[in-house]
Amino acid sequence: MENNKEKIEKYDFWGLTLFVGIPLPGTGAWTGAMVASLLKMNRKKSGIAILLGILLAGAIMSIVSYGVLAKVVA
């Protein structure tokens, strides 16, 4: 992990946001908080990344759900 410290620090915010934002089993706010803790990220920065990830996941699931329902009803 020490070998990749620069890469991790470079992409930590957006990486955490995408990790939380992709709606798959095992990814989400709780797991994102654990990852941020393990990577010793700044608490405020990781909180904002997790919040954005939750909003992204909600948007993705809404688009998928309403898109599927609209085709079934029509």
- Is the dihedral angle over the CA atoms 57, 14, 26, 29 positive or is it negative? negative
Give the H or E element holding residue 69.
Answer: helix 43-73
Classify residue 29 by burial, with Cβ atoms within 10 Å: 0-12, 13-18, 19+: middle
pLDDT in tens, 18-63: 999 999 998 899 999 999 999 889 999 999 999 999 999 999 998 8
Q: How confident is the model at residue 2 (pLDDT cuts 50, 70, 90)?
A: low
Higher pLDDT, 9 or 55: 55
Give the H or E element holding residue 74.
Answer: none
pLDDT of residue 49: 95
pLDDT of residue 72: 63
Rounded to two decimals, what is the model's pTM? 0.81
